[in-house]
Structure 1
Amino acid sequence: MRSRVVTAVALLGLAGCAATTTGGVGPIESGGLPTATPIDLGFDAETLDRLADDAAAFGSTCFLVSRQGKVVFARYWNGGGPESPQEVYSVTKSVTSTLVGLAQADGDLSIDDAASTYIDSWRGTSSEPVTVRQLLSGVSGRFWSEESDYSELIETSDRTAYAVALDQQEEPGTVWVYNNAAVQTLDAVLRSATGTDPAGFAEERLFGPLGMEHTRLTEDDSGHSTNVFFGMQSTCPDLARFGTLFAQDGRWDGRQLVPGAWVREATGRPSQPLNVSYGLLWWLNTDGPDQLAPKARPELFAAQGLGGQVVLVDPRSDTVVVRLGGGEDQGAEGYQIADATRVVTEAMVAPYTG
């Protein structure tokens, strides 16, 4: 097998806002989540301030740290706020992965099913054997080009129809590609399997129970497709809720919202051997020469989107770091998962209390 890792390039810019800074002094703007002082949950407050200043230099709109479900630090800039949703780009993918996990738990599908079970037009074609797992793992072999993924897919009115109609480019399981169109076909899979649109499914099973009041999946211009590779609107506190769900093995407020087995399947190990930094639409800090954050522990994982949107989860310490900002692609010079891990490696003075 051969590996081809295709990294994301620019999608769409997100316009900046006039700078206003809150947080750091006085009550924490936690978006309704419980709060605690940094020192009470094992953080050095001065280091958190310094890391927030570093995040601000990247054009951030918010920077939030929570532990054990309590917000210990939150700052906002550039029009950001606890109730001000913004585009979070490919962070959306990790939510889509979770919806697939919920559908599997309901018995509506298995990720080892051929996706053609749910996409009729793939039957009798070279895409017929592609599995749902391979769509989640980046090894579907579905057609990819920069023009297709970052221009035509964005501009078309019906993104799911466009994505489903693309050809099979490689044999499934032989090439890893960061393929937005392949992920978008999961809209068709979820609709067929669950009998509802992913936006409604997400609200009923995820956003509503978590109290993510300022989060929604969006539709494309056709009104027939839910954007599942990007397009989610959310806030730092809402994404802290989502991250805490995964930090706590799928539990929230005493309820098992997502099976713990799914959390471990999606984030606990590489989903395939071609890119060990990738789970099921989650980024993993797996040991190796290309480790995302070499100074941090390998069990950390993250949702990540264009422009340095990051939801970092450290399940061992039950810590979540959320950073959001503009959608400009700053490449290697922009905010990275490794920057978020500094909360754990530098600011945490009592790492593992449980």
Structure 2
Amino acid sequence: MKRLFVSAFAAAGLFTAPATAQVALKPDTPHLLFWSPEQQARWYPAMETIYESRPIASGGRVHALPLAARKIDPTFNHADRTWTVDQYMEAYRVSGLLVIQDGKVLLERYGLGRGPKDRWTSFSVAKSVTATLVGAAIQDGHIKSLQTPVTDILQELKGSAYEGVSLRQLLMMSSGVRWSEDYADPNSDVAKGPLEGLKLAEGKPGLNPVVAYMRTLPRAHAPGTVFNYNTGETDLVGILLARAVGKGLAEYASEKIWKPYGMEAEGLWVTDPGGLERGGCCMSMTLRDYGRIGQFVLDDGVIDGRPVLPPGWAREATSKQIENGQAGYGYFWWMQPNGAYQATGIFGQSITTFRQDRIIIVVNSAWPRSGGPDLRDGRTALINALRQAALASGP
């Protein structure tokens, strides 16, 4: 039933999960959740050929990531066997693996035909970048504070369940608005929202389909009290942010991070049916630029002594703000049992940072499924081994 349902949406040219929607350039594009391994390896580095995207311009400057004098190449135990890094990369279909400590590269490897200049899609790692740009907008004065009511900026939501919800509560996934993110249920919000939103926005110029759908949802909990993973609201934050700064997310990301911090290559950001970059999904960048995102946040968003983010923002965003039944959740960042904070995307995308060790580990993958405990546990075993190897190799 799940495959039949997904195929119907794919025929309509919409990507419906794990976020709201984006328009495929070709109507016969298969659904993203069910791309074959060959399609993953071919299209994850070239999402702009599949979906409408906007460039994130880089500048002439490149933030250096020099090679460390030492290298690491650990073996580790997992699932009743001993693994090398190369064996893990082959078994878990890793396209890129990067380990940085104190701003220097201890390990950098590629797979699935990818090279250093090739981009790779982020999936929900984009959420963490969106939250970082919210911090920049507060620092710039475009947004007054995290306590700003959502309806102050998205006035189309007045009179909806978003009345009384703050921006901070959206970033914590705790708006209290009812939302179901069940990809197998054709009646879930994440499944029906895209087409419903398009219908609701039809004939209403300026009304984004995401906003059109989200404002129909009822209240389930008091704002700020219950964590509920909601990719629709992360796209809503992206729309709110674009409205506040008066420009698209790709342009703002270029202005605040890509150019001044020194990303080495142009990035890409997939757009929704309303033509806005999606706050919840699908940026593309090189492996080292993923590492630079991690380093920028680890360094508190300071460039050449100039703060791009409000004082304390980066640490607050990457610390537990709400219980989520796991290790906690910040502002679109996940806390991990091993003490790290992590930007995470399906099919094996992650930026994992151990703040106290100043270690950043980037993994880009094409897992055979969107997720699952076995896949996540394997990655955690690798990450823990890489961290221990970095610590054991000396400062």
Q: Which residue in the other structure is 1:126 paired with?
A: 161
Give the distance between the partners of 1:53 and 1:149, measured in 2 at CA.
39
Which of these residues, 209, 214, 218, is aligned with residue 270 of structure 2? 218
Structure 1 position 35 matched with structure 2 position 80: no
Amino acid at match of 1:261: G
Task: Evaluate the alpha carbon distance shift between residue 127 and residue 257 of structure 1 in structure 2; reply closer, same or farther with a 3 A threshold.
Answer: closer
Q: Which residue in the other structure is 1:27 paired with?
A: none
Q: Which residue in the other structure is 2:41 paired with?
A: 17
Instruction: Give the deviation of 1:247 after TM superposition.
Output: 2.0
Q: Which residue in the other structure is 2:330 paired with?
A: 279
Alignment of 1:49-64 (within 5 A): 50-64=84-98
Structure 1 position 68 matched with structure 2 position 118: no
Tell me, yes or no, if the aligned pair for 1:144 and 1:179 is still in contact at 8 Å.
yes
> Any gaps of 5 or more consecutive residues in structure 2?
1-17, 20-30, 43-61, 77-82, 199-207
Q: How many residues align?
A: 317
Which of these residues, 263, 283, 288, is aligned with residue 237 of structure 1? 288
Structure 1 runs of 4+ with >6 Å offset: 8-11
Instruction: Give the deviation of 1:198 after TM superposition.
Output: 1.7
Give the distance between the partners of 1:69 and 1:163, measured in 2 at CA.
43
Q: How large is the RMSD of aligned CA atoms in angstroms?
A: 2.8
Tell me, yes or no, if the aligned pair for 2:351 and 2:360 is still in contact at 8 Å.
yes
Amino acid at match of 1:36: L
Which of these residues, 350, 361, 364, is aligned with residue 324 of structure 1? 364
Alignment of 1:72-111 (within 5 A): 72-109=106-143, 110-111=145-146
Amino acid at match of 2:343: A
Give the distance between the partners of 2:160 and 2:211, measured in 1 at CA.
16
Tell me, yes or no, if the aligned pair for 2:122 and 2:282 is still in contact at 8 Å.
yes
Instruction: Give the deviation of 1:217 after TM superposition.
Output: 2.1
Structure 1 position 174 matched with structure 2 position 214: no
What is the TM-score when the length of structure 1 is the normalising length? 0.80
Amino acid at match of 1:312: T
Any idea what SS the aligned residue of 2:40 has? coil
Any idea what SS the aligned residue of 1:341 has? helix
Any idea what SS the aligned residue of 1:216 has? strand
Deviations 1:243-295 (A, max 9, x none): 0112222234554333441101101x31124555211100112xxxxx3xxxx
Instruction: Give the deviation of 1:45 after TM superposition.
Output: 3.5
Amino acid at match of 1:344: R
Structure 1 position 343 matched with structure 2 position 386: yes
Give the distance between the partners of 1:237 and 1:319, measured in 2 at CA.
14
Give the distance between the partners of 2:362 and 2:393, measured in 1 at CA.
20
Give the distance between the partners of 1:252 and 1:341, measured in 2 at CA.
29
Any idea what SS the aligned residue of 1:303 has? strand
Deviations 1:123-161 (A, max 9, x none): 233321011111100111223122445433566665533
Instruction: Give the deviation of 1:78 after TM superposition.
Output: 0.8
Deviations 1:176-204 (A, max 9, x none): 11100111111231122212222211111
Amino acid at match of 1:338: T
Give the distance between the partners of 1:38 and 1:151, measured in 2 at CA.
49
Give the distance between the partners of 1:206 and 1:192, measured in 2 at CA.
19
Task: Evaluate the alpha carbon distance shift between residue 324 and residue 187 of structure 1 in structure 2; reply closer, same or farther with a 3 A threshold.
Answer: same
Tell me, yes or no, if the aligned pair for 2:89 and 2:111 is still in contact at 8 Å.
no
Instruction: Give the deviation of 1:72 after TM superposition.
Output: 2.1
Give the distance between the partners of 2:32 and 2:317, measured in 1 at CA.
25
Report the identity percentage.
Answer: 27
Give the distance between the partners of 1:116 and 1:349, measured in 2 at CA.
51
Instruction: Give the deviation of 1:73 after TM superposition.
Output: 1.3
Give the distance between the partners of 1:35 and 1:113, measured in 2 at CA.
41
Tell me, yes or no, if the aligned pair for 1:246 and 1:313 is still in contact at 8 Å.
no
Amino acid at match of 2:272: D
